[in-house]
Amino acid sequence: FLRKNTTKTTYTMALSEENPVYSPFFGVMGAAAAIIFSALGAAYGTAKSGTGIAAMSVMRPELIMKSIIPVVMAGIIAIYGLVVAVLIAGSLDEPSKYPLYKGFIHLGAGLAVGFSGLAAGFAIGIVGDAGVRGTAQQPRLFVGMILILIFAEVLGLYGLIVAIYLYTK
């Protein structure tokens, strides 16, 4: 995709205005952003909820399996990012066949699912930590914790929907 000038040893960078040589870079950044940011959110949610479970399980070890729900929900956030990253990576192509607008769309899709996954992971971690500790003291808080966790999980799902919609453009 780089053409060598026969009179000099310089290379031209542009294949065409629609398909510049750097257009796949934006698609790669979209795939990377999707998995990196959603995995960061999932890791934070898992760590924050996990510390709450560890603190709670000292006094109430029988509630460990019931309290694992926030950790599972945080892990699902990373799957959203993985799905979008695999979709984007599967459609990457050489620069002559990969237009710049497609690279920008893939970057937007990756950022949409990545940042929404990061926010959802933070919310799940904070709610899961407080909810697990509160449920250990008052079991009636469990249903409320689950409802709030569902609303936090839906934030990541919104990003996945927008990312898939962008990807199909």
Structural domain contains residue 12: no
Range of the domain at 63: 37-167
Structural domain contains residue 26: no
Structural domain contains residue 149: yes
Structural domain contains residue 60: yes
Q: Give residue 11's pLDDT.
A: 45
Q: Give residue 119's pLDDT.
A: 98
Structural domain contains residue 63: yes
What are 95's two structure tokens? 């620069």
Number of domains in the chain: 1
DSSP secondary structure code for residue 10 in this structure: -
pLDDT digits over 20-51, tens only? 888 899 999 999 999 999 999 999 999 999 99
CA angle 114, 116, 122 (to 5 degrees): 105
Looking at every residue in the chain, the average pLDDT score rounds to: 91
**Whole-structure pTM value:** 0.85
Q: Give residue 10's pLDDT.
A: 47
What are 153's two structure tokens? 């999980």
Question: CA torsion 13→16→22→25, rounded to 10°?
Answer: -160
pLDDT digits over 115-129, tens only? 999 999 999 999 999
Domain of residue 100, CATH code: 1.20.120.610
Question: CA torsion 33→35→38→44, rounded to 10°?
Answer: -110
Structural domain contains residue 13: no
